[in-house]
Amino acid sequence: MAGGECISRGIIVAAQPECYLALLHYPVLNKHRQVVTTAVANLDIHDIARAARTYGIARYYIVTPIAAQRSLVETIIDHWRRGYGAEYNHSRREAFSGVCVREDFEQVCREIGEYAGKAPRVVATGAALEKGLISYGELRKLLAEGDTPWLLVFGTGWGLADGIVARADYSLAPVRGGSDGYNHLSVRSAVAVVLDRLFGC
């Protein structure tokens, strides 16, 4: 959708050529609300890459401080960009063109700032967020204004650590489904829902 706009249910949805996505594996929480590092999941790499490409995300960052995990991600990326996978599946190669792995969240923010010429406005996401939430409609309006880069941040495990949420400019309302209160989507499912609500037609 980059480079244009569409109208969905009477709502103008602007293109977001400078909207980025980061999937954090640290600092995130476990179920006891302790800050931990989680392992990278192969399905998250693939499925979020495809969703990011579909909805015009400029770059998808996989963030982990563990060198062995970064090396694994780089191997997977290389397979789909330049290896046999690139010849076997051209659509997957295109999806992986915007994927990169970085060591920490601040590195991601600095890189976007250098690339875009200004620091990104950070949006925290998570199923457990409760305070100071911005709605999808409100965020859509903000995304349509100006040329500010945006960074959507998703957490693995049991969600983003409090320090990341506090550092964010906005906290997006959690994805809600049925009326019985169950809310435990995989992060790749949550990413797809959020991107469609913000940028889908």
pLDDT score for 1: 33
Q: What is the CA radius of gyration of the chain?
A: 16
pLDDT score for 14: 47
Report how far residue 151's alpha carbon sits from residue 119's, in angstroms, rounded to the nearest whole number. Answer: 10
Say yes or no to pLDDT of 129 above 70.
yes
The Cα angle at residue 38 between residues 132 and 161, in degrees rounded to 5: 20
pLDDT score for 86: 62
Q: How many CB atoms lie within 10 A of CB 88?
A: 11
Give the tokens for residue 102.
């970085």
Residue ranges and CATH numbers for the domains of the chain are 5-175+183-199 (3.40.1280.10)
Give per-residue pLDDT as tens, 163-198. Answer: 999 999 999 999 988 778 788 899 999 999 999 999
Say yes or no to pLDDT of 152 above 70.
yes
- Residue 107 binned pLDDT confidence (cut-offs 50, 70, 90): very high
The DSSP output letter for 18 is T
How many alpha carbons fall within 13 Å on the CB side of residue 9?
6
- Between residues 12 and 61, the one the model is more confident about: 61
pLDDT score for 28: 98
pLDDT score for 188: 96
Give per-residue pLDDT as tens, 51-88. Answer: 999 999 999 999 999 999 999 999 998 887 877 766 66
Say yes or no to pLDDT of 21 above 90.
yes
